[in-house]
Structure 1
Amino acid sequence: MVLLKLHACVAATLVALTEALLVSRAATLPASIQLIRQAPAGDEIQLQIALKHQNIHKLESKLRSVSDPSSSHYGQYLSKDEVNALFAPSNHSRTAVESWLKDAGITAVSSRGPLVDFVTTVAKANELLGADFAWFDVEGHKKLRTTEYSIPDTLTAHIDLVAPTTFFGRTKSHRMIPDDETSELDSRQARNTTTCLSVITPDCLEEAYNYGSYKADPAAGSRVAFASFLNQSARQEDLTQYLNTFKLPPRNFTTVLINGGEDHQDPNGDIGEANLDAQFLAAVTKNLPLKQFITGGSPPFVPNLRITNASTNSNEPYLDFYETLLATDDEGVPQVLSSSYGDDEQTVPVEYAKRVCNLIGMMGLRGVTVLESSGDAGAWAPEVAWVGSAGGFSNYFERAWYQKAAVKTYLEESIPVEVKSYYKRGGFVDFGGRGFPDISAHSLEPWYQFVNAGRPRRTGGTSAAAPVVAGIIGLLNDARLRAGQPTMGFLNPWLYARGVDGLLDVTEGKAEGCGGIDLQSGNPVPGAGVIPWASWNATKGWDPVTGLGLPDFEALRQIAVNGTKA
């Protein structure tokens, strides 16, 4: 694109007549994030404005109505058009924002539903937003960010956030790699279920989660999908080899590209996370339709904008991903979505976290179950079923209504008063926050076996647990659809109210953290805080180590279809 000239007189008039309101300020940056240099004024920058939704105050009550099993409206999900009619930003908001950009001399603008994308120079962006964009090193990755920004107070009723601005997180896969990842097993040894003490295979999963005898019917309509970010994509050849190794029926998956995502089938690419998602979902669901959504995010492509230097764009992918799903027709939306990527909560601007949470809530209104791996460091949104190993309490979201009793019991019976006092004094934990995880599955030691770049490998982490649980929910949806019932939808209220009786409670063990070590790599984290005695114990009932417990498919199926366990 041609570099835009500043309309100095217009800008001066706007500044004179409009008061700026600080919208976002990044938290104190950790030592792992370092300023490299100020961004040259002429550098191009691509930014995205998220317009405010209408009626967002109605979202929680609407979601509760269709997801609480005691509600008379349980399972009465909304269509795409109905959700859009309730929450779509007003035309007035779009016009106000586009006029603001036009008056500032910005012409490279593209509107996509609730999002307005534009390209400008660093100098103009700094002027427009009262920002100071600079290049930062975020764990070895360069990002163009600002520590704060403002918008005119006349636009606060129209704008939720501008991104990427104060988002310093580095999206990560929650895949764990063992030291002996290259250790291989021949297919005969891998097929033998006696190896479950040394490696996890499809037979081991069937036995552990009690779904081996269930036969799904793809004609019933259950649809399962997984999300791929970070330029990763699953390889069909690797899935075929995995299925052949374990004598599972052959199958394919379809791929949808979002916002410039690319489907890389090169075995030399970064494919590990996407491969394990595809293979473990295929192993559990067997013959149900499987879809992969690949979202570009480093950088994204925005239709109708000409960007001369794409390397300056590093938008986070979540807004584009969920907005695209919400804009998808009802028959194209999966009923279960597994995602094994995430950011540490404290690196995510609170307004961004709330926006994404609202989008996931709208997915719940449409009957979609979203399962996220809680990873090794932290998690947030209450509208997500977190599949965990990491656990704790959110600093952004208060305790969710559906888990209040379960978490209250844990806090009263399992954490001594002096420990709670210690955590509170240090500001380490907000015990009033949303507790996570909600449900668990095996993740580490013995490792899972999968195929990567044509070779058997071992892997683990909550990246492995999330697709396994997602597959089990896909089977539950199959059972309900065949019984003439709606899909599970937003899962959490049902889990805490009824599904808990179909889970295997884990009452021994503990999770430790805050030792200054990256639990994925085992390496020290520069500048990381060390908190003595930072750990959670697994106990009877909900706990921040294993949530409510591990799934027993047959027990869950009986409860989901018949209302009670036989």
Structure 2
Amino acid sequence: MHSAMQTRKQRGVPVGVAQVVLDVKDVKGGQVGSLNGHAVASFLTQWYNDDDIHQFWDDFHINYTSVVRYPPWQFPGDGTEAELDVQYLTAIGEKIPTIVMDVEDNLYFLTLLQQIGDMENPPRVVSMSYGGGEQYNTIVYCGRANIEFAKVALMGISFLASSGDSGATDSHGWCDDGRYVPNFPASSMFVTAVGGIEGGEYTDDVSDFTHEKAWYYGGGGFSWFFPRPKWQDLAVGRYLNLSSLPMQFRWNRDGKAMPDISLQAVDYAVCIDGQYYAVSGTSASCPTFAGMISTINDYRLARGKPPLGFVSPALYYLFEQDPDYYFNDVVEGHIEGCIDEGGVSFHTTPGWDACAGLGSPKFSRLFEGLVDLVASSD
């Protein structure tokens, strides 16, 4: 299991990332998350620093949030992944109580899911920036975890995972005998896979970005272990009819497709030991989107509606209703591939693609669609 990120010194916040934060704050309008809660999944002794979080909140004018450790014996630390996850989940899901759930055994996801199932008041949304190639896990382990993810979905919990930071390859940029290596648990049918994009020019129209492009390292592809769920059939089916796809032996056209959605993944300003660094990866886009879902849940709960729960079917439902209204289509770029194919695998296309999924959210419109949604189409 891994969490690969790129880090360097940073001053300020890139326009794309800053605008995402501002859009959510504008829509949220001061709603207090007293009925809500979300969590970060943490592994590999990645612990956050309380002073860094408070400095980040002060510097970017974020309202303080309740952050608790579960289990409580976690030590304060300066793990880049933990700092990134907590800072941006709390920045986007402002005022919503936050739990940092730490697992330090070799069952990883299974232990985490058991912890969630045992909680009296589990979080409504869980963001996880970790994963590993399907081929480097056993199908028995992944299959068991997939069942547990389904149980979490039935509990009304939205589980989101980073799609990976190596395109269609493994964490080292390698392929498995020429085959692509999808990232698990993003490849689970019951997990919403969040990919990465970069660039773009912001307009004044509801989170409308133009010229966004796929981030070369953003994870994408198709599961070898899990079949494509029916809510993906229309959007992904159109993509599969294209003639410009990679050679068929490299990937499974019948597998769960990923990512589901993508957000900015490059140059997030993260406070680490009192200094700011630029951190890139789907490890950044995932907690950002998780904060958006928490914000939407907040409004739904305050209006007597249930939380969104497993959100992927709802995203594909809205996409089929009006893709350009709810999403920015990403039609530039490609993602990493095998060395013997020149390091390029999938390319962006109009509509869903294996680089950026459904595209990036136009948050104020997605907020409107998901708050008003009575039931998702599954």
Task: Show CA shifts across 1:367-403 (max 9, x none).
Answer: 0000000112432211100001211111111111110
Scaled by the length of structure 1, what TM-score is found? 0.56
Alignment of 1:353-432 (within 5 A): 353-375=142-164, 376=166, 377=170, 378-379=182-183, 380-388=187-195, 389-412=218-241, 414-416=242-244, 419=245, 423-424=247-248, 427-432=249-254
Q: CA deviation at 1:405?
A: 1.3
- Structure 1 counterpart SS, 2:270: strand
1:199-255 deviation line (CA, Å, top 9, x unaligned)? x65x43234x55524225335512111100001111111100111111222334011
Q: In the comparison of the two structures, how many residue pairs are matched?
A: 331
User: Is 2:126 the counterpart of 1:349?
Assistant: no
Deviation, structure 1 residue 175: 2.5
Deviation, 1:317, is 1.2
Q: How does 1:171-186 map to 2 (within 5 A)?
A: 171-177=1-7, 181=8, 183-185=9-11
Task: State which of 528, 531, 547 in structure 1 corresponds to 2:357.
Answer: 547
| Structure showing greater relative contact order (alpha-carbon pairs closer than 8 Å, 6 or more residues apart) | 2
Partner SS state of residue 44, structure 2: coil
User: Which residue matches 2:329?
Assistant: 506
Q: Would you say 1:273 and 2:95 are equivalent positions?
A: no
Matched, 1:229 2:43: yes
SS in 2 for 1:390: coil
Residue 441 (str. 1) matches residue 243 (str. 2): no
- Paired with 1:282 and 1:274, the residues of 2 have a C-alpha distance of 12
Cα deviation for residue 266 of structure 1 reads 3.9
User: Residue 6 of structure 2 contacts residue 281 of structure 2 at CA under 8 Å; is this kept in 1?
Assistant: yes
Determine the structure 1 residue equivalent to 2:202. none
Matching residue of 1:152: none
1:536 matched residue in structure 2? 346
Change (3 A) 1:327 1:515: same
Which of 466, 472, 477 aligns to 2:297? It is 477
Taking the aligned partners of 2:319 and 2:35, their CA distance within structure 1 comes to 22
Q: Is the 8 A contact 2:27 2:364 kept in 1?
A: no
Q: Distance in 1 between matches of 2:288 and 2:3?
A: 16
Question: Does structure 2 retain, via aligned residues, the 8 Å contact 1:483–1:561?
Answer: no
What is the aligned partner in structure 1 of residue 201 from structure 2? Answer: none
5 Å matches for 1:130-529? 171-177=1-7, 181=8, 183-185=9-11, 190=12, 196-197=14-15, 203-207=18-22, 209=23, 211-218=25-32, 220-257=34-71, 263-267=74-78, 271-297=79-105, 315-329=106-120, 331=121, 333-375=122-164, 376=166, 377=170, 378-379=182-183, 380-388=187-195, 389-412=218-241, 414-416=242-244, 419=245, 423-424=247-248, 427-444=249-266, 447-498=267-318, 501=322, 503-516=326-339
Deviations along 1:432-476, one digit per CA (max 9) or x if unpaired, are: 1111000110002xx110101221111010000000000000011
Question: What are structure 2's unaligned runs of at least 5 residues?
Answer: 171-181, 196-217
Cα pair 1:210 1:552 within 8 Å, conserved: no
SS state of the match for residue 341, structure 2? coil
Aligned residues of 1:226 and 1:338 also touching (Cα < 8 A): yes
Q: Percent identity?
A: 27
Give 1:357 deviation, angstroms. 0.8
Q: Is the 8 A contact 1:476 1:556 kept in 2?
A: no
Cα drift, residue 196 of structure 1? 3.0
Question: Is contact 1:216–1:478 with CA below 8 Å preserved after alignment?
Answer: no
Asked which structure has the greater CA Rg, the reply is 1
- Matches of 2:14 and 2:10 in 1, distance apart? 15
Give the secondary-structure state (helix, strand or coil) at the position aligned to 2:159: strand
Instruction: Evaluate the alpha carbon distance shift between residue 507 and residue 457 of structure 1 in structure 2; reply closer, same or farther with a 3 A threshold.
Output: closer
Q: Are the counterparts in 2 of residues 503 and 548 from structure 1 also a CA contact under 8 Å?
A: no
Give the drift of 1:498: 2.1
Aligned to 1:165: none
Instruction: Name the SS of the counterpart of 1:225 in structure 2.
Output: strand
- Give CA deviations for 1:285-333 in whole Å, capped at 9, x if unaligned: 1111111101112xxxxxxxxxxxxxxxxx231111111211222x2x0
CA distance change for structure 1 residues 228 and 347 in 2, over 3 Å: closer, same or farther?
Answer: same
What SS does the aligned partner of 2:74 have? coil
Shift of 1:359: 0.4
Letter in 2 for 1:460: S
The CA distance in 2 between the partners of 1:213 and 1:173, in whole Å, is: 31
Question: Matched residues in 2 for 1:399 and 1:351: separation?
Answer: 18
Q: Partner of 2:370 in structure 1?
A: 560
1:231–1:262: 8 Å Cα contact kept in structure 2? no
Letter in 1 for 2:51: E
- Please tell me whether the aligned partners of residues 337 and 470 of structure 1 are also in contact (alpha carbons under 8 angstroms): yes
User: How far apart in 2 are the matches of 1:415 and 1:221?
Assistant: 48
TM-score (norm 2): 0.82
Q: Which residue of structure 2 lines up, in the alignment, with residue 49 of structure 1?
A: none
Counterparts of 1:463 and 1:347, CA distance in 2: 20
Superposed CA RMSD: 2.1
